[in-house]
C-alpha cells in the first residue's frame, strides 16, 4: 500500500517524468509514504485506473500536459466514479492556466498551479492530518532552486538503461517569446553548480550515458555552461551523448573552444530559430540577432561535430507563405542536420493569445490546440504545411536520403518540397506508414514527374541512398505513367529500372 501516488501519462514508454521525481524528492518526512507510477498515453485509462487503485492510495497526484490532457480527463472521470473517496490533486502547465473552463479541474479535488515542488508536500501534510485547506485552487509560489532537493537519485536502473533521463541545470527563461509559457518567467535561475555536478557524476557512475538537458537557455551563463561541458569532457567515452537547447545568437569564443573539443556523436544542440522574419520576431517579442544567429550556426556546422536540430514554427502572426519560404531557404542554406517544422500550438496561458483576434488565428478546440488558420494562411494552406512538415521528417530529417535530397530541393528548397508534398498526398492520401521501398519508389516518381529531374540522375541518387539504408532486397523504380526516359535508347525500351544492392 502507498498512501500517496504521483503519476502522469508520458507520450511514450521511453520518456520519464522529471517533474514527478522533483515532487517525490521534496516530500520530506512523507517521501517513504509516496510512490511514483508512470504510464503512457497509449495505455487505456481503465487499465491505468485499475493499476493506481490497486495500491489503495489516499491521494493521487496527476501531472497534466498538453500532450496527455484528453487522456488525463478520462482517467480522472474514471477514478472519481470508481473511488470517489480518493483525493485527486492536479498540477502541470495544462491546468495551471485558464483552469476555470476545464472539466478535469471541476472533477478533481484540488489543483496546484505553478511549480508545485514544495506546495504539494504541504498540501499532503494538511490532508493526512485531517486539516484540509478551505480552497480547492492553490497557487504555488515559485521556489528558488536552492530550496529544492535534487531528484536524480530517484531515477532507477530501468530509467538509466532503457529510458530518456531528463536533467536541468537552471529553471526559467529571461526571454518573452509569446508562443511559449516560459514568457511568464521573470528570469532564469541556475542550480548551484557543485551539488548539481555531483548528482550528474552519480548518474554517470550508475551507467547513464544519455543526458537530456531541459534548460530553456543552456548557454545563458557562460560560467555554468562551460563548467558543465568541461565536466562531461573529462568523462568522455564512446557512449556519452548530451542534448542541450541553445540560444542561437549567444556563442562566445570561450564556449566555442570547449564545444570544438567534443568528438562526433556526443553533442546535440536544439536551436530555436522559430522565424527569420524580423517583423514577426518583434511582434511576438522574440529578441534575436539574426546575423549573429546565422554566423553561429555556420560556425557550429563548420567547426564542431555537434548535431544541429533547428526549429521553425509555421503559423506565427503575420507570417505568410512568402515569408516562410524565405526563412526556410535561408535556414537550409546553413546546412543544419535537421530542421524541425512545427505548427504553432496555443498553450494555455501563453501571451500569443493577444494576437488571436487581430490575425484571425484559429486553433484546434482540443489539445494540443494546433493552429488551423490565420489571416495570412488559410485552412487549406495550413493543411498543406502540416503535411509538408510530416513529409520533411520522413524524408529530410530521417537522414536516409543524403544523395537524393539535393535533387529534391534544388535551388528553391521550400517551393520544391512543398510541390513534392502536394504530389505525395494527392498520390497516396496518407502521411504515415510508408514502407521504405515504397517511399523510394514514390520519390523516384516525384523526382521524375512534378520535380522534372532526369530519370537516370534520380535513379542513381536513390540507388546510393537505398544501399546506405541497409534494406534487403531489390528496389523497383517505375517511371510515372505516360513519361519516358529520354536519356538513352536502352532506357526508352524499359519501363522499369531494377536496382539491387
Q: Using alpha carbons, list the distances in angstroms from residue 126 to 20, 26, 63, 133.
A: 20, 16, 20, 7
Average pLDDT, the chain: 94
DSSP string of 43-70? S-HHHHHHHHHTT--SEEEEE--TTTHH
Q: Are 479 and 472 in contact (CB under 8 A)?
A: no
**Model confidence pLDDT, tens digit, residues 296-348:** 999 999 999 999 999 999 999 999 999 999 999 999 999 999 999 999 999 99
In this structure, how many other beta carbons lie within 10 angstroms of the beta carbon of residue 403?
Answer: 16
Q: How much is the pLDDT for 474?
A: 85
Q: Are 173 and 216 in contact (CB under 8 A)?
A: yes
Q: Using alpha carbons, list the distances in angstroms from residue 164 to 17, 64, 145, 358.
A: 9, 19, 23, 41
State the pairing for strand pair 362-363/371-373.
antiparallel
**Model confidence pLDDT, tens digit, residues 77-131:** 999 999 999 999 999 999 999 999 999 999 999 999 999 999 999 999 999 999 9
155-356: which CATH number, 2.160.20.10, 3.80.30.20, 3.40.50.1360, 3.90.1150.10? 3.80.30.20
Rounded average pLDDT over 366-394: 97
In this structure, how many other beta carbons lie within 10 angstroms of the beta carbon of residue 378?
Answer: 14
In this structure, how many other beta carbons lie within 10 angstroms of the beta carbon of residue 268?
Answer: 17
**Is the pLDDT assigned to residue 488 strictly greater than 50?**
no
**Could you identify the residue written with the cell 494562411?**
377
**Model confidence pLDDT, tens digit, residues 174-188:** 999 999 999 898 789
Widest CA span in the chain: 89
- Cell triple for residue 462? 536513390
Percent of all residues in the chain with a pLDDT value above 70, rounded to a whole number? 96
Q: What is the residue extent of each domain of the chain? A: 4-145, 155-356
Q: How much is the pLDDT for 495?
A: 38
Q: How much is the pLDDT for 482?
A: 63
State the pairing for strand pair 87-91/137-139.
unpaired
Q: How much is the pLDDT for 492?
A: 39
Distance CA 263, CA 114 (A): 39
Q: How much is the pLDDT for 479?
A: 84
Rounded to 10°, the helix 413-428/436-448 angle is: 120
- Cell triple for residue 465? 541512398
DSSP H/E element including 204: helix 193-205
Q: Are 477 and 496 in contact (CB under 8 A)?
A: yes
Q: Does domain 4-145 have CATH number 3.40.50.280?
A: yes
Q: Are 443 and 449 in contact (CB under 8 A)?
A: no
Amino acid at each position: 500500500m502507498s498512501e500517496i501516488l504521483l503519476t502522469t501519462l508520458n507520450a511514450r514508454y521511453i520518456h520519464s517524468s522529471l517533474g514527478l521525481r522533483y515532487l517525490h524528492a521534496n516530500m520530506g518526512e512523507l517521501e517513504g509514504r509516496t510512490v511514483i507510477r508512470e504510464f503512457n498515453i497509449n495505455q487505456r485509462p481503465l487499465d491505468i485506473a485499475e493499476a493506481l487503485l490497486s495500491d489503495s492510495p489516499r491521494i493521487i497526484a496527476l501531472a497534466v500536459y498538453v500532450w496527455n490532457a484528453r487522456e488525463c480527463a478520462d482517467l480522472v472521470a474514471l477514478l472519481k466514479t470508481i473511488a470517489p473517496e480518493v483525493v485527486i490533486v492536479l498540477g502541470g502547465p495544462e491546468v495551471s492556466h485558464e483552469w476555470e473552463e476545464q472539466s478535469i479541474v471541476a472533477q478533481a479535488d484540488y489543483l496546484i498551479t505553478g511549480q508545485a515542488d514544495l506546495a504539494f508536500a504541504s498540501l499532503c501534510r494538511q490532508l493526512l492530518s485531517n486539516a484540509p485547506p478551505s480552497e480547492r485552487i492553490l497557487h504555488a509560489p515559485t521556489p528558488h532552486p536552492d530550496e529544492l532537493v535534487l531528484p536524480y537519485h530517484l531515477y532507477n536502473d530501468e530509467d538509466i538503461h532503457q529510458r530518456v533521463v531528463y536533467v536541468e541545470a537552471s529553471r526559467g527563461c529571461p526571454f518573452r517569446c509569446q508562443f511559449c509559457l516560459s514568457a511568464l518567467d521573470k528570469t532564469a535561475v541556475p542550480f548551484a553548480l557543485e551539488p548539481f555536478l555531483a548528482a550528474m557524476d552519480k548518474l554517470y557512475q550508475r551507467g547513464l550515458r544519455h543526458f537530456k538537458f531541459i534548460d530553456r537557455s543552456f548557454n545563458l551563463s557562460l560560467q555554468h555552461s562551460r563548467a558543465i561541458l568541461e565536466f562531461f569532457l573529462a568523462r568522455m567515452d564512446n557512449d556519452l551523448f548530451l542534448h542541450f537547447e541553445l540560444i542561437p545568437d549567444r556563442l562566445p569564443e570561450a564556449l566555442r573552444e570547449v564545444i570544438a573539443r567534443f568528438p562526433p556523436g556526443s553533442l546535440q544542440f536544439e536551436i530555436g530559430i522559430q522565424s527569420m522574419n524580423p517583423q514577426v520576431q518583434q511582434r511576438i517579442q522574440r529578441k534575436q540577432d539574426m546575423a549573429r544567429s546565422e554566423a553561429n550556426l555556420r560556425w557550429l556546422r563548420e567547426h564542431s561535430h555537434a548535431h544541429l536540430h533547428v526549429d521553425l514554427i509555421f503559423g506565427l502572426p503575420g507570417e505568410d507563405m512568402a515569408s516562410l519560404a524565405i526563412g526556410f531557404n535561408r535556414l537550409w542554406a546553413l546546412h543544419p542536420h535537421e530542421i524541425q517544422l512545427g505548427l504553432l500550438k496555443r498553450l494555455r496561458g501563453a501571451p500569443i493569445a493577444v494576437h488571436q483576434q487581430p490575425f484571425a488565428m484559429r486553433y484546434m478546440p482540443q489539445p494540443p490546440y494546433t493552429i488551423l488558420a490565420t489571416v495570412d494562411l488559410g485552412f487549406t494552406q495550413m493543411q498543406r504545411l502540416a503535411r509538408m512538415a510530416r513529409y520533411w521528417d520522413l524524408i529530410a530529417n530521417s537522414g536516409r536520403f543524403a544523395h537524393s535530397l539535393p535533387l529534391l530541393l534544388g535551388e528553391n528548397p521550400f517551393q520544391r518540397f512543398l510541390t513534392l508534398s502536394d504530389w505525395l498526398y494527392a498520390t497516396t492520401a496518407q502521411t504515415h506508414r510508408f514502407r521504405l521501398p515504397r517511399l523510394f519508389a514514390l520519390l523516384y516518381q516525384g523526382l521524375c514527374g512534378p520535380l522534372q529531374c532526369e530519370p537516370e540522375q534520380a535513379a542513381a541518387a536513390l540507388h546510393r541512398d537505398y544501399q546506405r539504408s541497409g534494406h534487403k532486397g531489390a528496389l523497383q523504380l517505375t517511371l510515372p505513367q505516360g513519361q519516358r526516359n529520354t536519356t538513352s535508347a536502352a532506357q526508352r525500351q524499359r519501363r522499369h529500372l531494377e536496382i539491387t544492392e
